[in-house]
Chain A
């Protein structure tokens, strides 16, 4: 009760479906759609319908304090600004660009020659101009982490990929190890951190092997092994273990910057060749997909194109969930015309499980037992149903990370995660 160290529980990985297929390129969709919504902010478009755009040209801009541009991921013509399906499960304004299949790159994309004499400011500026955001799911603008007033002691690359099914980061580490290391070095330079850690689950042997093969070239970066539990990829879980202390809101408080594998690789590209964030590796998997694959795609690709590339659905007549994101935290979509945004790492198609009658709470307390944030979901659910905001705050509902473990362990299939995340929203609104 007094000793508070978040643990997790082991969840079967089910990653073998897509682990055999190397990353396949799918870089020339007919249309791409660049979402104007980043995090909760709606960006302002910089182009009009009919404009010709180049690959890597800024076409929209986020204008709050985390300002950064968004880029076109193909060359072609802006044909519409319309609402499309976003991974939040809602329709969101997006810029539609018709691909001319010429892949004419913007003039700013070129190999930089000053890599030996980089300053902190140049790196941060290039990260900002490339529009790099956290690609693990948060979508937080990366450059903002380097401009705060904190003493940074360590850069942590989050390679845990603790959600079942997803294999994108694992495949990337195996093939792009060198770029990952370079990205980590740039991040250390930008933040002035003396140490770098790559936090990876100890069961991902092939990826660890690939990392170990070149770790000697980077004496300041080390591999940190995590247990095979969920949610080992939660920032707080990793920071608690590496830094041996915990924080309240953001890892910067204890001198750590945490970034996802794909973000680190994107930072390497941005620093070396001014390449904006227009590529993304996604896993398309699940029992309902014929041939699960990992794809390297342009941001803004339609998900149903990828499904078609995977050989379509296994049993189209059976009711299946179409999930944007991981199986623990994702969102079900009504239609498969989902647009791949920079924070989406997987698409999962999974048969629907229909158990209509469930008992009410038997009070076993398993949900509280597993909660990594030390919450009591049953009480939060009750407080949420009573709309008792003060009690929600007392219960720490704002600390909920929405990891899904409470619903996962519930023997009565009670929608606890839904209640706690909504309770959190209510408590934040006040």
Chain B
């Protein structure tokens, strides 16, 4: 009898991924599940509440009620179809079986869902479709498909829509749902951009108080206003080990610390950094966009560098630059540096703090410090042009 042959393989012979709970598919599925509460909140806030309202001015039609859900559905569908088209037309996945197994592993719907969640409420469907097509075909597939894209498709798609179709979006209702359009006229960050030195009453008071910011009943993009639900989703993602705590916590933390200093220098209290953290897309971006694994650094120390830079750039763009947001732009900017950060951080991590590497550590720290100081000084100046020199002295002290 010939000797029995055994199959060959590579160590280790125990893998977490043997269990489907730890596989990539499950990770991406859990990521999508974490988005569901936010989508439902967007629907309740922008669709259901105006629909059941008794106020005839606010009252909307049925189509307008389901519009938020429709937008997410269309976004997901567009991305899926675009990717399927690209795979079959240009990457040789002709048969249905090939296409199916490929799509199962490339998670095609996520960019579409994310774009639909961050656009303003009455964005026309064709604009979202264009954004999703741009994100999937150009940002994701042209770079080589899932795992090879340099930029976060959803972020680029969003910026594409935002820059190319601002007029269209504003004309069709913009950031305010029908109820909000009656009550207030702008989002908190637009308000802030026109009045950077504003007081509590001017910045927060016109939207109620900070609780409204926390619960999400303020004007803003479709699904990113509720800080509470984003924190809940964040905890879910942490518990299911989909994302690592480093990027969201350090990103939001650095924004908080920087704006705290800026606020204190202007004589504002704790409300100022909380207002900055909870308005706009910061929390949503930090939890769902900046953590996108393919386009964020892989090494733990790289994640730290990435998150701190994001925080500083967001404050810089938001408080000093002309755009009211700053989140998407800074993520896009840092995406360019991800491969570099990874190289740099993994070398530092492997070698540790030695005589050879301390200069790199020192350089990095100095860079962050200088950039933070500049951000602080510049934003105080912008907020309070009159007391320019006084603010500088205060910071330096």
Q: With A and B bound together, what is the CA distance between A336 and B3 in angstroms?
A: 8
> Which one of B35-43, B58-66, B81-89, B297-305 is at the interface?
B297-305
Q: Which residues of B contact A359 (CB under 8 A)?
A: 24-25, 105-106, 146-147
A394: nearest chain-B partner, CB-CB = B347
> Which one of A17-25, A147-155, A198-206, A363-371 is at the interface?
A363-371
In angstroms, how far is the closest chain A Cβ from the Cβ of B291? Answer: 10
Q: Which residues of B contact A361 (CB under 8 A)?
A: 147
Q: With A and B bound together, what is the CA distance between A185 and B111 in angstroms?
A: 65
In angstroms, how far is the closest chain B Cβ from the Cβ of A117? Answer: 47
Asked whether, in the complex, the Cβ of B294 is within 8 Å of the Cβ of A411, the reply is no
Which secondary structure characterizes the binding site on chain A?
A: loop
In angstroms, how far is the closest chain B Cβ from the Cβ of A112? Answer: 41
- Per-position binary interface string of chain A over residues 149-178, scored 1 when its CB falls under 8 Å from any chain B CB and 0 otherwise: 000000000000000100000000000000
Asked whether, in the complex, the Cβ of B13 is within 8 Å of the Cβ of A319, the reply is no
In angstroms, how far is the closest chain A Cβ from the Cβ of B357? Answer: 10
Q: With A and B bound together, what is the CA distance between A1 and B302 in angstroms?
A: 9
Q: With A and B bound together, what is the CA distance between A335 and B7 in angstroms?
A: 9
Of the candidates B10, B105, B303, the one having the most CB atoms from chain A within 10 angstroms of its own CB is B10
A360 at the interface (CB under 8 A from B): yes
Asked whether, in the complex, the Cβ of B9 is within 8 Å of the Cβ of A408, the reply is no
Known: A374-B349, A376-B350, A379-B299. A362 touches B12 (CB 8 A): no
Known: A321-B9, A379-B346, A417-B10. A409 touches B352 (CB 8 A): no
A213 at the interface (CB under 8 A from B): no
Q: With A and B bound together, what is the CA distance between A363 and B12 in angstroms?
A: 20
Q: With A and B bound together, what is the CA distance between A420 and B101 in angstroms?
A: 29
Q: Which residues of B contact A337 (CB under 8 A)?
A: 3
Known: A327-B12, A395-B346. A368 touches B17 (CB 8 A): no
Known: A320-B6, A332-B8, A336-B3. A362 touches B16 (CB 8 A): no
Asked whether, in the complex, the Cβ of A412 is within 8 Å of the Cβ of B24, the reply is yes
Which secondary structure characterizes the binding site on chain B?
A: helix
Known: A337-B3, A394-B347. A374 touches B14 (CB 8 A): no
- Per-position binary interface string of chain A over residues 266-293, scored 1 when its CB falls under 8 Å from any chain B CB and 0 otherwise: 0000000000000000000000000000
What is the interface residue range for chain B against chain A? 35 or more
A52 at the interface (CB under 8 A from B): no
B301: nearest chain-A partner, CB-CB = A1
A354: nearest chain-B partner, CB-CB = B7
Asked whether, in the complex, the Cβ of B299 is within 8 Å of the Cβ of A368, the reply is yes
Known: A408-B15, A410-B17, A412-B17. A321 touches B298 (CB 8 A): no
Closest 4 CB pairs of A and B: A396-B350, A376-B346, A404-B12, A365-B298
A sample of 5 more A-B contacts (CB under 8 A), given A327-B11, A332-B13, A362-B147, is A328-B14, A359-B106, A376-B342, A395-B346, A415-B10
Give me the interface of A with B, judged by CB distance under 8 Å. Answer: 1-2, 4, 11, 89, 164, 316, 319-323, 327-337, 348, 350, 352-353, 355, 357-365, 367-369, 373-376, 378-379, 391, 394-396, 399, 402, 404-405, 407-413, 415, 417-418
**18 pairs, CB–CB < 8 Å, chain A vs chain B:** A11-B14, A323-B13, A328-B11, A328-B13, A334-B8, A336-B4, A353-B15, A360-B105, A365-B298, A365-B300, A374-B349, A378-B298, A394-B350, A404-B11, A407-B12, A409-B16, A411-B22, A411-B26
